[in-house]
């Protein structure tokens, strides 16, 4: 296998830190399909990390952590009355049940969510955005949009669209899998 096999897709464009790591993987004899899989995961993770870093300050100014922001936006996406069961929140926000419980306690203490009885099932409760929670969620969503625009400002929109479409195709195949 040639050292630059598989690297030709770059077409002479700039190199990033992942390219350097991929060279080491090639030297170690990893297969090109595996290297491509690792590159996808590393680059997707790095993009997510950069956006989260850009968003951390604005969220902190709103008194929110990233996990709290995720829970609030899951509730917001539900539409009125902006409520879900805690188990549904856990699945949609990709948190553990313990993580969800801690986040909900902090959000409830801040007045952003309230818990109410489920009239259809006395054993469960709903979590619902308060008016203040909806207001802070709207502000956090605006901060998120600004962070995404800041991080990706120099990337052509067609490249972003192509990457989003390619990642969708990958997630359609692997997205339903759950790991411990």
**For residue 2, is pLDDT > 50?**
no
Q: Which spans in the chain are helix H?
A: 17-27, 32-61, 66-77, 86-93, 97-110, 131-151, 157-174
Dmax of the chain from CA atoms? 65
Instruction: Provide mean pLDDT across the span 124-132.
Output: 91
Of 8-12, 120-124, 147-151, the one with minimum mean pLDDT is 8-12
Residue 5's pLDDT is 44
Q: Map out the domains of the chain with their CATH numbers.
A: 17-162 (1.10.10.10)
pLDDT tens digits, residue range 14-30?
Answer: 889 999 999 999 999 99
Examine the pLDDT at 10 and tell me if it is beyond 60.
Answer: no
* φ/ψ bin of 111: left (φ > 0), alpha (ψ from -120 to 50), beta (otherwise): left
On the question of pLDDT at 179 being above 50, the answer is yes
* CA dihedral (101, 103, 106, 109) positive or negative: negative
pLDDT at 91: 84
Instruction: Supply the mean pLDDT for the chain.
Output: 89
pLDDT category of residue 58 using cuts at 50, 70 and 90? very high
Report yes or no: 89 and 127 within 8 Å, Cβ to Cβ. yes
Residues 132, 103: Cα–Cα separation, whole Å = 16
Among candidates 107, 110, 113, which has minimal Cα distance to 126? 113
Residues, the chain, total? 180
Pick from 113, 136, 130: nearest CA to 58: 136
Residues 6 or more apart in contact with residue 86 via CB below 8 angstroms: 97, 100, 101, 104, 125, 127
pTM of the predicted protein model: 0.80
Tokens of 119: 């009239």
Q: Which residues pair with 125 in a beta bridge?
A: 117
User: pLDDT digit string (tens) for 36-54?
Assistant: 999 999 999 999 999 999 9
């Amino acid at each position: 296998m040639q050292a630059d096999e598989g690297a030709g897709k770059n077409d002479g464009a700039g190199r990033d830190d992942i390219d350097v790591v991929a060279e080491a993987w090639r030297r170690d004899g990893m297969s090109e399909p595996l290297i491509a899989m690792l590159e996808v995961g590393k680059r997707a993770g790095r993009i997510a990390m950069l956006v989260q870093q850009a968003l951390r300050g604005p969220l902190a100014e709103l008194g929110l952590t990233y996990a709290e922001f995720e829970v609030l936006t899951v509730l917001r996406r539900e539409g009125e009355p902006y409520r879900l069961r805690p188990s549904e929140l856990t699945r949609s926000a990709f948190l553990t049940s313990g993580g969800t419980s801690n986040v909900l306690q902090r959000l409830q203490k801040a007045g952003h969510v309230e818990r109410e009885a489920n009239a259809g099932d006395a054993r469960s409760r709903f979590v619902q955005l308060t008016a203040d929670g909806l207001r802070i969620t709207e502000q956090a969503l605006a901060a998120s949009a600004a962070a995404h625009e800041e991080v990706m400002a120099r990337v052509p929109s067609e490249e972003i669209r192509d990457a989003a479409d390619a990642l969708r195709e990958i997630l359609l195949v692997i997205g339903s899998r759950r790991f411990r």
